[in-house]
Amino acid sequence: MSEELATKRVEVRFVGVPPTGRVERAQGVSDVVMDGSILRCLVCGSFQPLLDAVRGYEVVDLRAASIEHERKSTPQEDLSMTSPKTVARVAGSLYLFASLCFVFAMLVRSGIIKEGDSAGTADNIRSSASLFRASLAIDLVSWTCFLLAAMALYVLLQHVHRMAAAAMVVFVAVLVTVGYLNELNSYTVLTIATNADYPHAFGADASSALVTLFRDTHVNGIVIDEMFWGLWLVPLSYLVIKSRQFPRLVGVLLIVAAVNWIGQFAANLLAPGLPYVTAFGQVGGLGEIVFVAWLLIFGIKLPAAGAPASAIATSSGRG
């Protein structure tokens, strides 16, 4: 009988939003706390009322530990690597690092490329081959980190709407794939500029023209990527607003950023040379900067225990 009335600390991980209200009303259950898709509580006596409360909800993990065992070990709250605030800061760090790497690589290449001068560009690449090669490697690191950032955001926000979170990752996967394939153009530029066989085979002028051709192809690849850079921000902004775990303004700024990137793509493709497109694009990027800053500084707002599920998020499996 004494074993049946023992108090245990229980942690249940759900697919979607936990039924906090139902668990709180269950007999023998107390100290209910929700942390994203994880629900923690104390259960005194039988587990049956708790099991009845979660019936109909998909449970992926359930753990229980006696209070006595907890006191013998550490009385502190579990601060695991998978806590929402930790995941948010990991996502923000990866996002920021990927962006800095991308910008740095672009700046390095812009210092080497001489617009309108094919021969001068080829000479600069030959004389700065190591620097150009480093910028290529940094670009590849950038794309990898950005994919990891999207995966971390999926873990963070998939409880809001799984299909929207999956769409976000798919758009980023396409974005990264295009980015990786586009780096083949930069690699080809480096190969042609530094391999003496090409000037011998085609002549110096034709070889320099090939360098410019593949460099321009790389720029065109970035234009295509602008489309997907805007598309992935659409489901992200929806998840941010729907979750109510970020300020609404952050989600609105992400929508502005999405429209900005898609608009840049359309302008560069349909009206190349249109003035002020690049300058306007820098303004639209403010939404991403604010989002990353919020992830790094504040993480994500955790819902209060007992808050209604509809006020927190909407799972893809329930309205």
Ordered by start, the domain boundaries in the chain are 7-72, 84-311
Measured between alpha carbons, how far is 319 from 317 in angstroms, rounded to an integer? Answer: 7
Q: Let me know: does 232 contact 171? Beta carbons within 8 Å.
A: yes
State percent of the chain over pLDDT 70: 85
pLDDT digits (tens, 9 = 90+) for 133-142: 999 999 999 9
Residue 315's pLDDT band (cuts 50, 70, 90): very low
For all residues of the chain together, what is the average pLDDT? 85
Q: Let me know: does 17 contact 313? Beta carbons within 8 Å.
A: yes
pLDDT digits (tens, 9 = 90+) for 173-228: 999 999 999 999 999 999 999 998 998 889 989 999 999 999 999 999 999 999 99
The half-sphere exposure of 104 on its side-chain side, counting CA atoms within 13 A, is: 17
Measured between alpha carbons, how far is 289 from 99 in angstroms, rounded to an integer? Answer: 10
Residue of 243, 61, 40, 60 whose CA lies nearest to 154 = 243
Measured between alpha carbons, how far is 241 from 137 in angstroms, rounded to an integer? Answer: 36
pLDDT at site 277 = 66
> Is a pLDDT exceeding 50 seen at residue 306?
no
pLDDT digits (tens, 9 = 90+) for 102-114: 999 999 998 998 8
Residues 132-160, mean pLDDT to the nearest whole number: 95
Beta pairing class for 29-35 and 59-66: unpaired
pLDDT digits (tens, 9 = 90+) for 246-266: 999 999 999 999 999 998 899
Q: What is the CATH number of domain 7-72?
A: 3.30.70.100
